[in-house]
Chain A
Amino acid sequence: MAKPTSLEIHNYKCFSSLRLETVGDVNLIAGKNNVGKTTLLEAVALVASGGNPTELFRILDRRERPSSEAALVQCMMDQFPALPCFLGFDEFGLDGVKIDLPANWPKDNLKGPWSEFRRDSHSKLIPSFAIHCMTGAFAFDLTLETRQAAYAGVFDTDPRVAGTMRTYRSNFELRSNPNLIRRLWDETEARPSEEILIQAMRIIEPKIQRITLPSIPETPTPRLRLGDSSELAPITRFGDGLTRLFEIGLSLVNAKGGFLLLDEIEDGLHHSVFPKLWEFLLRSSKDLDVTIFATTHSYDAAVSFSRSALDDKNSLGFLTRLDQRKSGIVPVQFTEREAFLATEEGLEVR
């Protein structure tokens, strides 16, 4: 499957119009707070979800969940609960909301516009979440009914939602979802993917020989066997870094042909881990055909990314910083060499 080589986001949250001229195998997104680093990951997740409204509501709930059902009723958005994603743009409902991938994107996948208004039987305007693909266009009204259907899993099995790619966001998706960990592990255990996962975890603990996941559903805590020991020790005994690598590795091996989204990649990881982690991610992105987007605030992460990306001759790694300017949020993209030279000179690139 062809990977995207560029990306455009229009009228989604803080982005009125954002174009990344270049998308690499691994993309590190930097920038100050509130410039849309996580929002960019969300937009990619929406595209990759195949337009499944469940993804849209999941994003909204993570960011804007009302404190109670009562508050939800009071909320002015209660009729159109996905609207906050698209507010603030004059074009909304005229040109539509677009999250476009480039022309070389496979034809059976999605193209914009993603959202528009339609009139219901009483001529009332209802915002819609529209999907346009080669086989036709479908629209989901952004109403409470759609939301309820999304949570009932209706769209997950809807044959109209085609072209769904596997996308996982390791840090905010796995920890709160034991069932997902279980499902991904079942897809990984005793397969070549398991060895790749072990490789990831050996970045911190080189003695790891084996990983198991106890079959007790409510406690999906991985257990590790180190060296010649017969003991299977819970991963929680080792510290957060190893758990983080487990989540990244498990997400990666299950995102073949899709996307891996890593928000604040430095979470729980010491700076000394980064050179090997980037080396692993750059290599795996090619081997597993995964496009990786990661965000960071860490200079160490940016410096080691720049070095690893230049060293890896097979994979493309791009450092992009989002800057807030008068005209809106703009991307500043460094080539591999530019990022390397700038960080070697000790210049600020984040």
Chain B
Amino acid sequence: MSSNFLVSGGTAEWHLIVHLFPALKPKLKYPEGNAIAALSDDTVRERLSFAIKSKVERICVLFDAEQREAQRSWRSVREVLAEDGYVQLPEEMPKSGVICEAEGRPRVGVWIMPDNLSRGMIEDFYLQSIPRDDRERIRSEQFIQSIPSSERLFGAKISKAVYGVWLSIQKEPTSPAQAITRNLV
């Protein structure tokens, strides 16, 4: 019986978490269905609600800042938590995340995935797993650098652009979400 439960996020988030915390792999159930797409607020509320009622010990809620407004999502999650007896819930979701506790109920950790404007965006993390002397990485960086600053449609999102190019020149070109599930990074 699973003691941990991932409420939001799909297979990409699952791979990311077990990559960071390998010990969680056998305890964290692999998301079923087409879980790569971001979950709607209603789905997150529903999943959180039944997970709280079940007897898991820990629940992880991840907001993807790229695809939703994290504060709006937090308000939705906060409502469910408050109804279920969780107290001392902040009005605004802290950037560092929040851990919520209530007697007889699971610990609920809520975090926002890094967005593309923040320092240390998620693509920086992915790029760390690619060796610096990787030929395709070098080519991708050279290509991005060759674009004049004034013509960069991607603005400051350099890591994201490099990562995207790197993925597109692999033997099997793929999308960022699928790259994680295929263990490319």
Contacts and interface: CB of A to CB of B under 8 A. Distances in A.
B103 A325 contact: yes
B54 A347 contact: yes
B121 interface: no
A332 B52 CA distance: 10
B50 A334 contact: yes
A346 B2 contact: yes
A338 B80 CA distance: 14
A333 B84 CA distance: 11
A342 B46 CA distance: 10
Nearest to B5: A347
Contacts of A341: 46-47, 50
Interface string B1-33: 110010000000000000000000000010000
Given A338-B50, A341-B47, A342-B51, A348 B103 contact: no
A349 B54 contact: yes
B104 A323 contact: yes
Contact of B1 (A332, A339, A346): A346
A348 B5 CA distance: 11
Contacts of B139: none
A326 B103 contact: yes
Given A341-B46, A346-B29, A347-B2, A332 B103 contact: no
A334 B55 CA distance: 12
Given A325-B104, A326-B103, A345 B53 contact: no
Which range contains the number of B residues in contact with the other chain?
A: 10 to 19
Contact of B49 (A338, A346, A350): A338
Nearest to A345: B29
A309 to B, nearest CB: 14
Nearest to B54: A347
B56 interface: yes
Given A338-B49, A341-B46, A342-B50, A347 B103 contact: no
Contact of B53 (A326, A346, A349): A349
B153 to A, nearest CB: 41
B53 A334 contact: yes
Interface string B51-89: 101111000000000000000000000000000000000
A346 B26 CA distance: 13
Given A338-B49, A338-B50, A341-B50, A347 B104 contact: no
Contact of A348 (B1, B29, B47): B1
A347 B47 CA distance: 11
A348 B21 CA distance: 23
A348 B47 CA distance: 14
Contacts of B46: 337-338, 341
Contacts of B47: 341
Interface string A313-350: 00000000101011000101110011101100111111
26 contacts: A321-B53, A323-B104, A325-B103, A326-B103, A330-B104, A332-B53, A333-B53, A334-B50, A334-B53, A337-B46, A338-B49, A338-B53, A341-B46, A342-B51, A342-B53, A345-B5, A345-B29, A346-B2, A346-B29, A347-B1, A347-B2, A347-B54, A347-B55, A347-B56, A349-B53, A349-B54
Interface of A: 321, 323, 325-326, 330, 332-334, 337-339, 341-342, 345-350
**Which 8 residue pairs spanning A and B have beta carbons closest together?**
A347-B54, A348-B55, A338-B50, A342-B50, A325-B104, A342-B54, A348-B1, A341-B50
